[in-house]
Amino acid sequence: MRLRAMLRALRLIGPRKALRAVGYTLLRDRLDFRLPPAGPFLPPGNIREATSASGGGCFRFTRGELEVRFLAPDLVRVTWGRGLLPIPYAIARDDWLPVETSWRRAGEGYALASSELEVVVEADGGLTFRDPAGRTLRREFPPRRRRREWVHWAELRPEEHLYGLGERAAPLNLRGGEYCMWNSDPLGGYGPGVDPLYLGIPVYLGLHQEGSYLLFYENSYRAVFRFKDLARVYFPGGSLRYYFIPGPPERALRRYTELTGRPPLPPRWALGYHQSRWGYREQEEVRTLLKKFLDHDLPLSVIHLDIDYMDGFRVFTVDRSRFPDLLALARELAEHGVRLVAILDPGVKRDPEYDLFREGLESGHFCTLPNGAVLYALVWPGWCAFPDFTDPVVRAWWGKQYSRLLEWGIAGFWHDMNEPSVHTDWGDSTFPLPTRHVMEGRGGDHREAHNLYGLLMNQAAYEGLCQQRPDVRPFLLSRSGWAGLQRYAWNWTGDTESTWEALQQTIPTVLGLGLSGIPYTGPDIGGFSGRPSAELYTRWFQLATFLPFFRTHSAWDVPPREPWTWGEPVLSIVREFLRLRYRLMPYLYTLAWETSRTGHPLVRPLFWPDGRDPALWDVQDAFLLGEALLVAPVLEEGARSRRVTLPAGRWYDFWEEAVYRGPGTVSVPAPLECIPLLVRAGSVLPMEEEGRLALHLYPPEGSEGGGLLYSDAGDGYGPWRLERFHLRQTGDALEMAWETEGDYPFPWSDVRLFLHGVRAGRLWIDGREFGPVRRVVETGPFRLLRLEGPEFCGDAGR
């Protein structure tokens, strides 16, 4: 399998470059060579001294020190010294208010407690975390250290499930596996089981019978996580600093993204459909592409330009022979509401005629080897130098360059190869480990900076764009990053294979990223590296319709892949799903607004929000989109129905008037034209239809329900409005109250109300009787809807 991937990578890179890469690969091997460290790993020994400090305490052990500090009642930071403290690249907030904590002796150790969490420090350095009811959430053994290396162990309960660690081609529940934190390009096309991938994040969520918690290690070194009977984490350097957050996933993610930052509201167009291909080589081709979308009546928001638009693959340049007037093209597309997003790689071509290279070289902006020489490695343009994004001066310099492409009408940027990834013939396809980095002035090497490289490239771009176009919300898409990436960029899941297995992997990968704080992601529809069958493409497209990032993309050496490639019925099915995506835009945009305030992923596992039902802990063939929708894509060839596991409550079929009841598993039809899509009872689902607001109302099962709707101009930082819909079942009436906040004018011509699951009753809107209930009611905005004597449809009972 790996051999096949290597051969494909060779094909994509080309034999000439592969040959030139031999020299670089040998150099990297020579520089990376180090004798493995010897000697035993030692625990810290016994507590010698304990000092209580406001919001925590400090403990001196025979070999080492420990600081425990509450940043909030449910957020505690643990730091084991000695070791190099991290530069807080991941951290977005440091102005925490003092936390009231108590301090007492507990046996030979000490117990520190806030109102939400107790941390017991044992005499030997073991730590126990308990909730206020005394339930043990986690027990850690004393960490062990050997010079700069650390090993950290914790007990896992037999039923404990673990999620996260960023981007993984693994099952949703990571228990039983081993995972490496080293952002890597798997080369060519990857499938399930490949590890590591482009975007590792040392954060995970633990879920067991006694409760749940989130743990984030603020250490960017190449860690190895092993989740077997115990959780064992190995760090080759840095300090052992981590944050512990007790509580259900919903609360833990909120806190974690308060610590590492929330994803800003994207421009609304980014939630539309994106069409891409490595191989749109000319301006005319892009024009034809747009025309075909229009001719086929397919909505489209973005076209991506892969590396071919550049002049000899020089970043921030445009090949004028193939794209003679990019600005005119961008304007033409804009008339149809379509934007251009252009790819950028961090490598700057070594070419003395190229101003960016000259400037970077003269100003010392590039990464260097320990002997002070600039590091050169091979990427698409041949030999490249690499900006050192750990230097604030370099970030500012790089951030300024975006204006070159903004002038050409480019609306968003796609950051690739920023693991960083370079062409090699074997081993790690990245910089030599001793490569020097500025690290904000304190100095460091690639062992520490590698995993931060993508994050900081995005920081540079985001800050540059905010400066240059303060009224426009940046759109960045990045293959790599680290904790905190969500503050700057979206992500896609890279070069996947075009197989049913890779399609199945999409859901756990996207869910895992969401639980690691990265809410905006999605796959190359149809897979990057192969030729999907019509059916595989259709099923992939249907799934991706409900993912935040919605893009078809593929490699240059596979046949072109646009929605019309397979003719009918694929074209019509894809058109319907595209339309559905745009109809759902008010709902999606509201979810985007919510995640900017909560950090909650748009796409959530079925055990969201509180994780108490273990039957849902392993479900990875379906997901929730926000609170209202449950999406169960078809993941097997030939399947025309599928089993769907339901969380508790009533679930309405989106396509027809059927109702299912959870918890449990039901069989739902899934002909090629659709996939099971269910709506939670009690939802008000805002959709859009020809300029009208379509409000779909699904009666609650208990007494309450509701929904939100956020709107604004779709970009910029101007006025907004928020509609709150409250559903209430009282006596023999169902009511929906509608409240509005904010100054943005109501953006729809009128309102079309859909009443689902109601058979009979009398309808009143703002005190005016509308007569017997109808399925569809045309109205304007209102304050109160009342349905008297409602009769509801029964369950489908399948």
Q: Which residues are catalytic?
A: 416, 419, 495
CB of residue 379 to ligand GLC, shortest distance in Å? 9
CB of residue 524 to ligand GLC, shortest distance in Å? 7
C-beta closer to ligand GLC: residue 71 or 199:
199
Determine contact, residues 392/311, Cβ cutoff 8 Å.
Answer: no
- Per DSSP, 309 falls in state G
Q: Are strands 692-697 and 751-755 parallel, antiparallel or unpaired?
A: parallel
Instruction: Please give the distance of CA 654 from its chain centroid, rounded to a whole number.
Output: 26
CB of residue 14 to ligand GLC, shortest distance in Å? 12
Instruction: Report helix, strand or coil for 594.
Output: helix
| Bridge partners for 722 per DSSP | 710, 741
Determine contact, residues 795/660, Cβ cutoff 8 Å.
Answer: yes
Q: Where are the alpha helices (DSSP H) in 296-339?
A: 326-335
Burial of 211 (0-12, 13-18, 19+ CB in 10 A): buried
Given the structure tokens 């059916």, which residue do they identify? 535
CB-based burial, 543-555: b 16+ in 10 Å, e otherwise: bbbbbbbbbbbbb
CB of residue 423 to ligand GLC, shortest distance in Å? 11
What count of other Cβ atoms lies within 10 Å of the Cβ of residue 684? Answer: 24
C-beta closer to ligand GLC: residue 436 or 479:
479
> Encoding tokens for residue 552?
């078809």
C-beta closer to ligand GLC: residue 10 or 722:
10
C-beta closer to ligand GLC: residue 274 or 437:
274
End-to-end CA distance of the chain: 41
Q: Are strands 240-246 and 75-81 parallel, antiparallel or unpaired?
A: antiparallel
Alpha-carbon distance of 603 to 322, in angstroms, equals 39
CB-side exposure of 114: number of CA atoms within 13 Å?
23
C-beta closer to ligand GLC: residue 384 or 734:
384
Q: Kindly calculate the radius of gyration of the chain based on its CA atoms and give it in whole angstroms.
A: 27
Alpha-carbon distance of 528 to 555, in angstroms, equals 6
CB of residue 566 to ligand GLC, shortest distance in Å? 21
CB of residue 531 to ligand GLC, shortest distance in Å? 16
CB of residue 495 to ligand GLC, shortest distance in Å? 5
CB of residue 429 to ligand GLC, shortest distance in Å? 11
Q: Are strands 302-305 and 273-275 parallel, antiparallel or unpaired?
A: parallel
C-beta closer to ligand GLC: residue 72 or 476:
476
Q: Which of 152, 753, 197 is nearest to 421 (CA)?
A: 197
C-beta closer to ligand GLC: residue 79 or 491:
491
Q: State which residue has the least CB distance to ligand GLC.
A: 278
Q: Where along the sequence are the contacts to ligand GLC (CB under 6 A)?
A: 278, 306-307, 343, 416, 479, 494-495, 553
CB of residue 195 to ligand GLC, shortest distance in Å? 17
Alpha-carbon distance of 304 to 295, in angstroms, equals 20
C-beta closer to ligand GLC: residue 255 or 553:
553
CB of residue 497 to ligand GLC, shortest distance in Å? 13
Determine contact, residues 122/50, Cβ cutoff 8 Å.
Answer: no
C-beta closer to ligand GLC: residue 378 or 584:
378
C-beta closer to ligand GLC: residue 218 or 306:
306
> Encoding tokens for residue 567?
């003719």
Alpha-carbon distance of 162 to 617, in angstroms, equals 9
Alpha-carbon distance of 457 to 680, in angstroms, equals 40
Q: Which of 203, 417, 227 is nearest to 313 (CA)?
A: 417
C-beta closer to ligand GLC: residue 343 or 659:
343
Instruction: Report helix, strand or coil for 51.
Output: strand
* Distances in whole angstroms, Cα of residue 389 to Cα of each of 183, 266, 475, 484, 578: 16, 24, 19, 15, 38
CB of residue 185 to ligand GLC, shortest distance in Å? 7
CB of residue 412 to ligand GLC, shortest distance in Å? 15
Determine contact, residues 176/228, Cβ cutoff 8 Å.
Answer: yes
- Per DSSP, 86 falls in state P
C-beta closer to ligand GLC: residue 409 or 494:
494
Alpha-carbon distance of 112 to 244, in angstroms, equals 14
* Distances in whole angstroms, Cα of residue 216 to Cα of each of 240, 260, 535, 537, 594: 11, 10, 40, 37, 23
Residues contacting residue 356 through CB under 8 Å, at least 6 positions apart: 314, 315, 316, 348, 401
> Encoding tokens for residue 121?
């420090």
Residue type, 556: W
